[in-house]
Copies of this chain bind each other. A is one copy, B any other.
Amino acid sequence: MLTHFDAKGDAHMVDVSGKAVTARTARAEGAVRMSPETLRLVTEGTAKKGDVLGVARLAGIMGAKRTADLIPLCHPLPVTSVSVELSPDATLPGVRIEATVKTTGQTGVEMEALTAVSTAALTVYDMLKAAQKDMEILGIRVMLKEGGKSGRYEAAP
């Protein structure tokens, strides 16, 4: 049932040698919840002090490229596109993060999209922790996965 274990129950990297090389896309989302005061530092910052969201966007993009280094049984693969969007949301209150990753390969890129979101969220925390320590990272999940034999998956809204 769990593909990352062989018949004896030992962990291994799944053999994808026989899978077709197809175009694959994945999108993931997540958020960092913070106080309205901290969020104000972010939104004002973009305009005139420092660019919290810009730094976190870069970190997310670079994080996607490190996925196979971090996740033990993840296949290394050359991603062909990574974009990360961060948007302040006063109703959370906090920052919403969405990452989209593409490749042409033998295995999906949802781990790359999740790692991008996760790294961007950690970076948001790092840049704001001097102002607030009890922020929370939440709601990290896969929104879309397409390409490959298992077909299209889209999360419930």
Chain A: residues with CB nearer than 8 A to chain B?
Answer: 1-6, 9-17, 23, 30, 41, 45, 48-52, 54-55, 57-59, 61-63, 65-66, 68-85, 102-106, 110-111, 114-115, 118-119, 121-123, 125-131, 133-142, 145, 153, 155-156
Contacts and interface: CB of A to CB of B under 8 A. Distances in A.
For the residues of A in contact with B, the DSSP-based class is: mixed
B55 A130 contact: no
Contact of A68 (B4, B65, B85, B145): B65
Contact of A2 (B16, B41, B81, B104): B41
A130 B82 contact: no
22 contacts: A1-B41, A2-B128, A4-B50, A10-B85, A12-B84, A13-B79, A16-B80, A58-B58, A58-B72, A63-B70, A70-B70, A71-B122, A71-B126, A74-B126, A80-B106, A110-B133, A118-B118, A118-B122, A121-B140, A133-B145, A136-B140, A138-B138
Given A72-B123, A122-B111, A137-B141, A130 B57 contact: no
A145 B3 CA distance: 25
A132 B16 CA distance: 19
